[in-house]
Structure 1
Amino acid sequence: MKLSKIYSNQSGYFNPIEFNEGLNVILGEIRLPENKDKDTHNLGKSKLMELIDYGLLKERKNTFFLFKHYALFEGFVFFYEFKLNSGKYITVRRSVSNNTKISIKRHEDKYQNFISLSEDSHAWDFYDIAIDKAKLILDAEFNLKEISPWDYRAAVNYALRNQDDFSDIFKLSNFLGRHLYWKPYVGKVLGFNADNLKRNYELAFAIEKEKEILADLRADLGGIIGDEEEVLSGLLEFKRKEASLLQEQLDTFNFNKADTDNIERLVSEIDEDIVELNRVKYYLSSNIRRLRGTVEERKVSFKVSPTKKLFEEAGVLFDGQLKKSYAELLEFNRKITVERKKYVKERLLKLERELYEVSASLDELNEARSKRLVYLNTMGTFDKYKEVTSVLLAVKTEINDIHRKLTLSTKVGESEFKIEEDTRLQQEVKQKIKIDRDDVTKAKDGVYQSIKANFASFVETVLDKNGFISTKQNKEGNLEFYAGIMSDTGEQTSESDGHSYKKILCMGYDLAVNLAYGGSGFVRFIYHDGGLETLDERKKIAFLEYVRTIPELSGTQYILTLIDTDLPKGVSLTEDEIVLTLHDDGPSGRLFKMPSW
């Protein structure tokens, strides 16, 4: 899969671009002296990458320049010609105004022009189909079987590396979410079993979610000690007996048991609780009065003149040995007082809250005591009937709540079992990842070894240094990927972290991957935006020599954007290599031949 041609129905504003099979340079010329020292020039080099992504059916975003300036581009229809790995061609038609409807045509020859092709289903193999269906068709046509089960869009992300994607070799700027969304794909490309990598992330996520559910269930159950089901079943049996006795009293109009229960509750529980709470209330009130007294402002407890005189005499007697002056003593005393008051106020606030809670509990108990005394002293049979009915309803409510908690207890057991089962499965998957990693890294051939060799060759050729790619399994069982420059002793150098080297290492990695998959079902083009910026002259020359020969020999189409000032001295590009020239001297030099927007 390579780029062949891009054109539009607005040829006066957008000139057709025809790509060759090897090195393709998008050259920006700075003709105006006042722009020589600027970092950005807005010629359209980066916009072309976005436009290619649009033709590969990237979802619409309002921040995308075609829609951000919709009034300017509403009438545009773009045509994208791709060369398939089979050697045949396919053209994708996508407009701006009706961007979710896609037309596709297969053809045998390159550099076609289908602008005037009839807009109906007879002229196109697929006409105005939904974008999701079009993606499925393109995925089948591109046939990138090496990245299955991922579709072609995953490979496109790495084939189009923009200015923001040079900070990390493996992770692109748009991969802001969980590692699940990109690490298994990288593992797949490097030759590892991606199913295991993906499964490990999925299981880890499922376990964490299940633990959150379990925590919520336990919080709803409350602080039950021991086996929840056993405790709740015992409590349910007790409450059922209590309800049965209450119902029996209602059926027989015999409330002696209710009277006995009220007396026992009054004596053994309520009165005892009231006595205990009154004791606590007295303790709290006493402490609050004592602490309130300490908060009041007090004068310094020593006299100024005698103390000052004592310090002066001591200063003469112990000349140079005294470390604290009288002023420092006063300051020390002030700080101690402030800190002590702060602590006392915090303690006082806590005790006052406790006193409020105890007083509220006492009010509730005294009210309950009063009701039971009224019940025992004044209630007739009918009143007692209503009281027992009320108690029975409360008990039945408790029984229903116990049933609910028993259901929760069952769910707790199911949740615990699922966590145990997923944890067991995860351990198996981690072991599979370990075995697979050992097999891949120790194999003498295979795509992993090929990518490593290609990367090392690139770094040696372009940077004259030792390049490496390696992996390891972390404690979560996932693979970590590393690439950079190492010393002769095998240690990674800090050069890999510098912006210039990081950028060229990213480019080297992309090339290494494409070269390893040359001739197979993989994307066969790379677009690097601003690849030569910040590199020194020698490295630029070495890099250009590399991409002029090695990628083309291996069937990789390489597209590079650069400013003419970034081109090293003594190096010239051929007419075939420069597929598009942009400049800053008026609208004619821009990607879209119109005033700046």
Structure 2
Amino acid sequence: MFLKRLFSEPAGLFKPVAFSNGLNFIYGIKDLDNPKASLNSIGKSTFLDLIDFTLLASYNKNHNQRLFKAKEIMTGYDIVLEFSIDGVDYLIKRNVVEPNYIEFGESNEETKLFPIKTLKKKLCILIFSRENYDGSFVSEKWFRSLVSFYIKIQKFKKAKFLDPIKFIQELTEPELNVYHFYLLGLDNQIPFRIWEKRVHQKNISSTIKEVSEYVDQKYGLPDLKQAQLETNRLRLEIKKLSNAIDKFELGEQYEDAEKEANKLTEKIKSNLYQNYVDHDKLKSYRESFALPSKLNTRRIKSMYSEISEDLGLKIKETLAEAIAFRKKLSQSRQEFLEAEIVKIQEHIKTRDKIISDLEKERAKIFYFLSAQEAITDLTEAFYNLSEKKNQLSDLDSNTKLLLDLQKELNEINGELENLKNQSIDYVNRFSERIMQFAENFDNVYQEIYINQNEESQFSLFGGTRKKGIFELDISLPDMFGKGKNQGRTLVYDLSILIENIVNTSNFPNFLVHDGIFDGVDKAHFISVCKFVQNLANSGTKIQYITTINEEGTLDEKFGEKDFVNSDFIEKNSILTLSPKDKLFRQNF
């Protein structure tokens, strides 16, 4: 894949840029009338963003704030990238209004509109498929990850070239290994399986953590062992509670026993009421015996004798007869009442015996209804049983889930151990191929770091304790300094680029490095320029695209100043920007 042009349709958004073979500088120069004006924010990185945008980079605020802020300026324009693959020219057109629908096609044909997902798959096959490759298939999801290796642009608040292996900071080491092996032309089936297992392992571990936290928060059980113990305890409690209920046969008899107790209570009340009525009768009968039985006849006779002596005698005789009759009647009534009182007392005594028996029977039922094992009544018994069963069901299902997940996790860990052994055999099997790339890597290092007695090192290890099991080690002497550490990325990326230029006809022949020479010894910058230009002059189609600012002169202490000077940089600049001549000719 060789870049040809980047421009806008309609023209006018920015100056059209033609890419060339060899060095392609995005050059920031000072304004002669205002040399102190900053060369930042003039559009160098934004121009590289446009290249990335046409190659389907995500267009949102989180991914690229810089380009997203230019949305209003870019509205109404298509950004067009023209490139060739194996001698065939292609066009890709994308705009910020509908960034998920992109025009694509061969330059000599009418372009077609594609959804971004479809075009990613199409471009992935077109640009990154390998012939006679024994490794994993190329997924449409790989496209942006693979392109990101070739286009490294400084983002806001992102680290700069800290690790050549971790070229996408958000991805894990196992996933990155899949892409590195693919770019190296190495069989990546084992790294792919390791990545799959690690993803599965992470998901299961996360689920175990979530379920464990749920069990801990709800039941206060911090681990699987405690959960199992609690499950066993609940089973025992449920069994004891069920046995207690079965023993008293409460389940079916609860309603009948309650009804029987109510009937007995009604009978007791009825007998108590009858006794109350009879006691009231006894009181009335006994009070009737207290009526006065004597009458003063002589006083009555005296009262009537004042009227007539004969009348007084007659009334006295009549009263005497009445009194005698009353006495006879009272005696008869008393004898009757006494018989009635005896009968009532017998009835009361009988009812007292009935009440006592009923109360004993009711007491048995109440005792029957009072459960052992601290069961206060049937409703509570069945409620407790139901609650414990629900608790057991919930806890048991989560415990079984934890056990199943732990079992699955153990199986994955076992498979990873097996893959660890396979990784060791893999390194031995491909040792010659790995050594060939290591030699290529060292050659690039020696070209850039001239007159160095130390050797660089590219190594691939298997069976390590790292998440990826494989470890790609890229070492340079004194690499812990900022410049030398960035040099690791510089050497590794150029080595991969050259490897694929030689061995493929469709992989990118370009490499975009934004600001990689910041803090790097200028002598090494000159070496990179000479190295790339020599490759281009020898017939290799290679494009090294980088940003650079005008920073004084390159004198003899930086090496071959005649080869790399201001004129040389300007000659190899495909785009020159300044504080007066910004990319979009305005601030944003």
TM-score range, shorter chain: 0.5 to 0.7
Identity level (%): 19
SS at match of 2:473: strand
Quick check: 2:2–2:510 contact (8 Å CA) kept in 1? Answer: yes
CA deviation vs aligned residue, 1:329-380 (integer Å, no higher than 9, x gap) = xxxxxxxxxxxxxxxxxxxxxxxxxxxxxxxxxxxxxxxxxxxxxxx99996
| Aligned equivalents of 2:402, 2:192: Cα separation in 1 | 30
Deviations 1:84-108 (A, max 9, x none): 1x21011011122232221112136
Deviation at 1:483, TM superposition (A): 1.5
Counting only pairs closer than 5 Å after superposition, residues 249-268 of structure 1 correspond to structure 2 as: 250=254, 253=257
1:410 is aligned to 2:400: yes
CA distance in 1, matches of 2:117, 2:2: 22
Residues of 1 paired with 2:171 and 2:119: CA distance? 26
**Distance of 1:46 and 1:399 partners within structure 2:** 65
- 1:53 matched to 2:52? The reply is yes
Structure 1 match to 2:484: 501
**8 Å Cα contact 1:197-1:433 kept in structure 2:** no
Residue 481 (structure 1) aligns with: 472
Cα deviation digits, residues 466-508 of structure 1 (max 9, x gap): 211223343256233322224xxxxxxxx21112222233111
Q: Is the 8 A contact 1:200 1:429 kept in 2?
A: no
Q: Distance in 2 between matches of 1:27 and 1:205?
A: 45
Does the alignment pair 1:470 with 2:483? no
Structure 2 counterparts to residues 217-256 of structure 1, below 5 A = 219=216, 222=221, 233-244=235-246, 245=248, 246-247=250-251, 250=254, 253=257
1:595 aligns with 2:586: yes
Distance in 1 (CA, whole Å) between partners of 2:67 and 2:418 is 49
Correspondent of 1:161 among 152, 155, 158: 152
- Alpha-carbon deviation of 1:57? 1.2
SS at match of 1:57: coil
Write the letter of the residue equivalent to 1:523: P
Count of residues in correspondence between the two structures: 444
1:391-430 aligned within 5 A: 391-430=381-420
1:591 aligned partner, one-letter code = L
Shift in alpha-carbon separation, 1:226–1:135, aligned structure 2, 3 A? closer
Secondary structure of the residue aligned to 2:93 is strand
Distance 2:513 2:537 in 1: 16
Matched residue of 2:491: which SS?
A: helix
Do structure 1's residue 523 and structure 2's residue 520 form an aligned pair? no
TM-score calculated relative to the size of structure 1: 0.66
Tell me if structure 1 keeps the 8 A contact 2:47–2:583.
Answer: yes
- Name the counterpart of 1:6: 6
* 1:76 aligns to 2:55 (yes or no): no
Q: Which amino acid aligns with 2:573?
A: I
Identify the residue that residue 142 of structure 1 maps to in structure 2.
Answer: 127
1:89 and 1:106 in contact (8 A); partners too? yes
Letter in 2 for 1:171: K
Partner SS, residue 3 of structure 1? strand
Q: 3-state DSSP class of the match of 2:519?
A: coil
Q: CA RMSD in A?
A: 3.5
Pick aligned residue for 1:130 from 105, 108, 115: 115
1:512 CA drift (Å): 0.3
**Helix, strand or coil at the partner of 2:81:** strand
Secondary structure, counterpart of 2:479 in structure 1: helix
Are the structure 2 counterparts of residues 483 and 420 from structure 1 closer, same or farther at C-alpha, using a change threshold of 3 Å?
Answer: closer
8 Å contact 1:144–1:152 — kept in the other structure?
no
Q: Secondary structure at the match of 1:497?
A: coil
- 1:452 is aligned to 2:438: yes
Q: Say whether the 8 Å CA contact 1:93–1:102 is kept in structure 2.
A: yes
Residues 149-188 of structure 1 correspond to what in structure 2 (within 5 A)? 149=139, 151-163=142-154, 164-172=159-167, 174-188=168-182
Residue number in structure 2 paired with 1:300: none
Deviation at 1:53, TM superposition (A): 0.5
Residues 22 and 548 in structure 1, CA contact (< 8 A), matched pair in contact too: yes
Task: Check whether the contact 2:227–2:395 (CA below 8 A) recurs between aligned residues.
Answer: no
**Counterparts of 1:208 and 1:13, CA distance in 2:** 51
Q: Does 1:564 align with 2:550?
A: yes
Q: Secondary structure at the match of 2:551?
A: helix
Structure 1 distance, partners of 2:381, 2:193, is 59
Distance across 2 between alignment mates of 1:78 and 1:102:
10
2:199 aligned residue: 202
- Secondary structure of the 2:47 match is helix
- How far off is 1:575 after superposition? 7.5
C-alpha deviation, 1:47, in angstroms: 1.2
Alpha-carbon distance in structure 2 between the residues aligned to 1:384 and 1:229: 28
Write the distance in 1 (CA, Å) between the matches of 2:574 and 2:466: 48
Structure 1 454/61 Cα, relative in aligned 2: closer, same or farther at 3 Å? Answer: same
Structure 2 counterpart SS, 1:513: helix
Q: Which residues in structure 2 correspond to 1:319-398 (within 5 Å)? A: 387-398=377-388
Aligned counterparts of 2:524 and 2:573: Cα–Cα separation in 1: 20
CA distance in 2, matches of 1:66, 1:476: 36
Per-residue deviation, residues 398-423 of structure 1 (Å, max 9, x unmatched): 23433444434433432332222222
CA contact (8 A) 1:192 1:437 kept: no
Structure 1 residues 83 and 566: CA distance shift in structure 2, 3 A: farther
Alignment of 1:268-347 (within 5 A): none
Query: What one-letter code is carried by the residue in structure 2 that aligns with 1:542?
Result: S
Structure 2 residue corresponding to 1:438, chosen from 428, 432, 444 = 428
Q: Which amino acid aligns with 1:175?
A: Q
Q: Structure 1 residues 404 and 40 mapped into 2: Cα distance closer, same or farther (>3 Å)?
A: same
